[in-house]
Amino acid sequence: MRVDIDFCTLDGIRLSAFMYLPEMTEGPFPAIVMSHGYGAVKEMALDQYAESFCKAGFVCLLYDHRNTGASEGTPRGEIDPWQQISDMKDAITFLCARDEIDHERIGLWGTSFSGGHCLVVAATDRRVKCVVSVVPTISGRQNTQRARSSADYRQFLEDLNAERVLRYQRKTPRMVPISKPGDESYEWSKVAGAGTTYVNACTFLSLGYRDSYEPGHYIRAISPTPLLMIIADNDTKCLTDVQLAAYSNAHEPKALRLIPGGHYDPYTIQFETVCSASRDWLVSWLT
Q: The CATH number of the domain where 226 resides is what?
A: 3.40.50.1820
Q: For 75-130, what is each residue's pLDDT tens digit? A: 999 999 999 999 999 999 999 999 999 999 999 999 999 999 999 999 999 999 99
Cβ contact 244:251 at 8 Å: no
| Bridge partner residues of 6 (DSSP) | 16
Query: How many structural domains does the chain have?
Result: 1
pLDDT at 243: 98
How far lies 217's CA from each of 122, 137, 223, 233, 250, in Å? Answer: 12, 11, 13, 22, 10
Q: What distance lies between CA 49 and its chain's CA centroid?
A: 13
Q: What is the pTM of this model?
A: 0.97
pLDDT at 228: 99
- Classify residue 81 by burial, with Cβ atoms within 10 Å: 0-12, 13-18, 19+: buried
pLDDT at 26: 78
Q: Which residues of the chain have pLDDT under 70?
A: none
What is the domain extent for residue 251? 2-286
Q: How far apart are the first and last CA of the chain?
A: 20
How many CA within 13 A on the CB side of residue 209? 16
CB atoms within 10 A of CB 112: 26
Q: Nearest to residue 77, comparing CAs of 165, 176, 11?
A: 176
Rounded to 5 degrees, what are φ and ψ at 172? -60, 130
